[in-house]
Each structure stands twice: as C-alpha cells, then as structure tokens.
Amino acid sequence: MKKIFKRYLADSEKFERKISFIFFFSVFMMCAAAIPMYVMMGSPSIVIIPTAATLILSIVVPALAKGDDYRYAMMFMGYVLYLFLPFVFFFTGGLGSPVMLFFVSGLFMFSVFLRGKIKKIAIAAIAIEYAAVIYAGTKLSLELRGDGLARGFIFIISFLMIVFIAYIVTSILSFVNTKEKERTESLLAELHAKNAELDNLAKIDPLTGCYNRRYLYEHCNELIPSSSESETALCVFIIDIDFFKQINDTHGHSVGDTILKLMVHLIRMAIRINDLLIRYGGEEFVILLPNCGIEIASQIAERIRSLVEGNRNRENVHFTVSIGIAELRLGEDMESLIRRADENMYIAKNTGRNRVVA
C-alpha cells in the first residue's frame, strides 16, 4: 500500500493524476468495506451487485487511462456521483448514511477536472438530483419530529450551501493549479530558450563570430549525404593566412586578432548567402559551398584571394592567403573531402603562397 501511494502521489505526478487516484482509491475502499457489511446484513442483491461492479470498475478504469488522458476518470467520477452514490444513499438509510461525506469529497475531486460552463452545469445537475434524493430519503427513511416538508427544505438548503462551498473551494484550487501549470510551462520555455542559446553559442567562434569546428562536423554530417542523394555539387575551401605567426610575433596578438576578424569580413563579402564560413582553428578557415561546382568555386576563391591581397587595413599590415579547393566525389565522406582541400592548400603554400589550388 505504501508503494502504491508513493507511486501515484509523488511530487513528479501531475495534480489531476493525484486527484483521480485518490478518487479511485476512495471508491475502492468504500465498496470493499460495504460489500461484507451488506452480506452480513442480508441486503438484497440489487444493492450488492452494483457495489461489486463499482469496486471492479475502480480497478479497471485506471488501467485504461494513458498519460494525460482523463476521460475515463471523468466518466467514472460522473457515474459514481450521478448514479451510484444516489442509489446507495437511498438504499442505506438516507441522511443516516455516511454516503454524504463521500459525496462532498467526490464532488470536490470531480470539479477539479471541469472548467467554465461545463463545471457549472455539472454541479447544478448534481445539486438538483441530490436535492430530490435527500428530500425523498428524508420522507421515506428518517423518523424525525416536525413537518416533513420543512425538514426537506432545510436539508436542501444545507446541501446547496455545501455544493456552493465545494464549488468555490475547487474553483480556487483549480485556479491555483492552472497558474502553477502556466508558471511551470513558462519556466520550461525559458529553460529551452536558454539551452538553445547555449547550444548556439557552443557552435560560434567567440573571436570572429563565425561558426566553429563543432558546427562544421555537425553540419557536414547532414549536408554531404544530402548532396550525394540529390546529386548536387558541393565544394570545400581551406583558407590559411600566410605567415600569420610572423604577424603575431611582429605586431602582437591583438593585431593578429584584428586580422582574423578582418579576414571574416572580407570572406563574407566574397561568398554567397548560402555558403557557410567556419573558423577551423588558428588562422585556418573552412567554407562549405553547397550547389557549387569546381569552376564557380574557383572564381569565388580567387575573389577572396584578390580582396585579401588588395586590402589596406588600419594596422597597415599586408597579408595574403593560400586557398585549397576540393569538390565532393561520389561516396566520399567529410574527412576525405576536407583532407583533399587541405592537401591543395599546402600545395598552394609550397608553390609560392597567395594562390588558389583546386
């Protein structure tokens, strides 16, 4: 029993699920206690059979519910409140029966699942039905002094007051629960946004603002199979700043950082809007050019080389780049593609620098 309560009433469980479990458990306990009593008292089968059926339903219905689907729970609650409890109330002594105590708690739990007009209509229907049942039970089952009509009127008013209080209480609890849900959803949305922002930052090079190597490997794993399947061309550049170590040694790392930022600016002026610029490491950059053959890629690479060579920056530091190009071959993977581009870049370095090799 302790394990069951820990399972269904844990903090991780939703409010509605806890309420439905409490309702099912209460019905089960009530029926389990009532059936032996009915048998010992020699009660007719018209009372025992519905009680046994309700006990079975209190076990079966929770098994039918999946996830956040509370339709079966609401149907069962409606059956208990509208049919079973009035029936038991009438056949077990009217107001002398403890059924009324269970009804009030049951009404509270049932109301949690209802909203707006449906809630008002459902509770009004219960109020009318129980008013009639209380009056009939008072007339037929109780031997009290005084006028029967007056007694019935008093019981009806008392009952309506109980219903009204239950409605107010459940409305407040429902409102609190809704606000708690909204707050939780807001916090989750904020958390997802922060996680997305952190994930994005993890893919951005903080110095130059372009993508980093992590993004390259993630994106290539999608882009290369897509290009192979659609049989569209894909080219890769490896760009390396010539004599960058000498620039750092001569002018300092702050100037070197400025050169890297300038490089990104010049490259973006030359490439197309769909091309992807990645800082591969140090002074090396990789560019992915989807839907681009070797001829167009060579023209873009030459434009980059020319822009860099003709640049006049504030630091008055002249620098050039060596660029290696490779075009995706059928069945080739990312590592092989980048390795061929890198080999061509080193050929450009070894044959005089400031040139493009495809």
The residue among 217, 239, 196 whose CA lies nearest residue 348 is 239
Count Cβ atoms within 10 A of the Cβ of residue 269 and give its class: 0-12 exposed, 13-18 middle, 19 or more buried: exposed
Query: Quick check: is 190 catalytic?
Result: no
Quick: pLDDT tens for 213-241. Answer: 888 887 777 777 777 777 788 899 999 99
| Confidence label for 120 from pLDDT (cuts 50, 70 and 90) | confident
Q: What is the mean pLDDT of residues 54-74?
A: 80
Given a cut of 70, whether residue 76 has pLDDT beyond it is: yes
Residue 51 has pLDDT above 60, yes or no: yes
Model pLDDT, residue 144: 41
CA 99 to chain centre: 42
Within 13 Å of residue 307, how many CA atoms lie on the same side as its CB? Answer: 17
pTM (predicted TM-score):
0.49
| Cα–Cα dist 145/353, whole Å | 114
Angle CA 100–97–118, to nearest 5:
25
The answer on pLDDT for 286 being more than 90 is yes
Instruction: Please say if the pLDDT value at position 312 is more than 50.
Output: yes
Read off the pLDDT band of 321 (50, 70, 90). Answer: very high
Domains of the chain (ranges plus CATH)? Answer: 2-190 (no CATH), 213-357 (3.30.70.270)
Q: Which of 218, 283, 295, 335 is catalytic?
A: 283
